[in-house]
Amino acid sequence: MTALNLDRAWDLHPQVSVRPEPFGALLYHFGTRKLTFLKDRRLLAVVQALATAPTARAACSAAGVDDEDMPRYGQALAALTRSSMVVERNRIP
Amino acid sequence: MTASPQTSGPAPGATRLVDLFEHGLDAPICLTWELTYACNLSCTHCLSSSGRRDPRELTTQEAKAVIDELEAMQVFYVNIGGGEPTVRADFWELLDYATAHHVGVKFSTNGVRITPEVARRLARNDYVDVQISLDGATAEVNDAVRGAGSHATALRAMRNLADAGMTGFKLSVVCTRHNIPQLDEFKALADRHGAQLRLTRLRPSGRGADVWDELHPRPEQQRQLYDWLVAHGDTVLTGDSFFHLSAYGQALPGLNLCGAGRVVCLIDPVGDVYACPFAIHDEFLAGNVRRPGGFTGVWRESELFRSLREPQTGGACASCAFYDTCKGGCMAAKFFTGLPLDGPDPECVQGHGERLLARRPKDRGHLPKPSGDHSHRTTPARGRGPVDVVLARRPDRDRPPVGDCVEHPLAGMVLPRDGD
């Protein structure tokens, strides 16, 4: 599984709705009609920080992800880009 | 049920979405909302026995209050159906209200109101999805179930949507023994209109109970359907319709779990909340949105829903090697065919359901009946001709009757006859 470029700016797709849940969150994409979930609250915090953070790495740090866990969160974000839940900022069509 | 979303793989980690769903969520992911029992058609297999409007239907204001609750609960979308939902005068108002309040709308229609103008309006709203119901790729197969002219109506609606630039709308088909040989034709029809094919299971619910014996797929057709679904994978939507077929081998794409009361439910036109759209019966009635606590109270507090979120034991199916994949099948299908809820599905691919069905009494009087029958009292008139009326005088009256509207001061006064 490839990670995404943590040094670029990312964001949730504008058509994605996020619903926090005790286990993490549910994400629903109104464009693709796909549902997916985040399995922990920290990943939810990362995803929510993406919009205002200069880079994905900064969003992870703001959510309390340490350097050791950074690659794992990078992979999780990469999975979200493959289903178009997360898109690179400034590249939103 | 029809209400399940298409799922994609979980973002990180090993937990499966289906495991999280088994114990239920604080709010549904989506739900089915039958807005009205009124319908211009009289499909023989109608799940909700629709036809006539119920006078107690939720008002526009009550419906908006439900949408406000769904917004607060962050329900992603509603599957609006009926009846034919577009015949409600406030349908477009409610649709706009829901999408403006972040509740997505998918609605099922026979296409009767999808004019070119409506199609253009729908194509502009990113939060609306349309499902056109069609149960035969040919008029012959479709109209036998859905009524004369309904194939033409559905195709006209699909053309209008395609012409308006709406892509990815759904062509929704209930699989029967007459249309399973047409799966490739349905797929081609959907492709030609830029639509996506959605296949669902025929349930013995509503009027469907009356025709289930003649329409449900034959055992060899179930296998054919399964193989077809495996071959077409993600390009065809099924919700959680066919998880009972998973016992043939690999699990099908979609949600392989009964979501009733766990992640989906049904709100009916009068605000009654049922576990699922196929279970309109007091046994599966959880409450009503008009009572204090509203829909949220029903979803979170109903004893029925709590019990559905308990781990299920599998009963007679527990020892079956395929229980993990099929989970005993569809609760509503078992209930309305008179089979025990903790036993096999009537269409169990291992044949266990068939054996139980064969042992049922010949007389179907023992089967549970749906809570309401809203069917048209007669089949729609074939043509409007003159009506014969015979005028005659009532034999027990020697003078015209006196009604409240007769204001003559002497009305009713019996005058003495000449010579008395």
pLDDT in single tens digits along all 420 residues of chain B: 334 444 444 344 446 777 888 889 999 999 999 999 999 999 999 999 999 999 999 999 999 999 999 999 999 999 999 999 999 999 999 999 999 999 999 999 999 999 999 999 999 999 999 999 999 999 999 999 999 999 999 999 999 999 999 999 999 999 999 999 999 999 999 999 999 999 999 999 999 999 999 999 999 999 999 999 999 977 899 877 888 898 888 878 777 778 899 999 999 999 999 999 999 999 999 999 999 999 999 999 999 999 999 988 888 998 998 888 888 899 999 999 999 999 999 999 999 999 999 998 888 888 888 888 999 886 554 555 666 777 776 666 555 555 455 455 555 555 555 544
CB contact under 8 A, B5 and A17: no
The per-residue pLDDT for B370 is: 83
User: The pTM is what?
Assistant: 0.85
B12 contacts on A by Cβ (under 8 Å): 38-40, 43, 72-73, 75-76, 79
Q: For residue A20, which amino acid is it?
A: P
3-state SS assignment for residue B333: helix
B193/B117 Cα distance (integer angstroms): 17
Kindly give the pairing relationship between strand B77-81 and strand B30-34: parallel
Q: Residue B239: what residue type? A: G
pLDDT per residue as tens digits for the range B28-86 = 999 999 999 999 999 999 999 999 999 999 999 999 999 999 999 999 999 999 999 99
φ and ψ at residue B77, rounded to 5 degrees: -160, 165
CB atoms within 10 A of CB B409: 6
Contact call for B12 and A21, based on CB within 8 A: no
Q: How many CB pairs under 8 A join A and B?
A: 75
| Contacts with B6 from chain A: Cβ below 8 Å | 33-35
Contact between A17 and B74 using a beta-carbon 8 Å cutoff: yes
Task: Assess B74–A contact: CB distance below 8 Å, yes or no.
Answer: yes
Within 8 A of A23 by CB-CB distance, chain B residues are 15, 20
What pLDDT, in 10s, does the model give residues B108-157? Answer: 999 999 999 999 999 999 999 999 999 999 999 999 999 999 999 999 99
Min Cα separation A38/chain B (Å): 6
Cβ pair B13:A21 closer than 8 A: no
Give the integer Cα–Cα distance in Å for B11 and B172.
Answer: 29
Could you give the 3-state DSSP secondary structure of residue B170?
strand
Question: Are the beta carbons of B206 and B232 closer than 8 angstroms?
Answer: no
Q: What are phi and psi of B130, to 5 degrees?
A: -120, 135
Percent of chain A at pLDDT > 90 equals: 81
Q: How far apart, in whole angstroms, are the C-alpha atoms of residue B286 and residue B283?
A: 9
- Structure ipTM: 0.89
Shortest CB distance from B8 goes to which of A31, A34, A75? A34
- For residues B176 and B222, give the distance between their C-alpha atoms in angstroms, rounded to a whole number: 10
> pLDDT value at position B221?
97
Give Cβ neighbours of residue B16 (< 8 Å, ≥ 6 apart). Answer: B10
Q: Is B156 exposed, middle or buried (0-12, 13-18, 19+ CB in 10 A)?
A: middle
Closest by Cα among B74, B300, B39, B271 to A25:
B74
Chain A CB contacts of B29 under 8 Å are 26, 28, 35
Classify residue B381 by burial, with Cβ atoms within 10 Å: 0-12, 13-18, 19+. Answer: exposed
CB contact under 8 A, B11 and A17: no
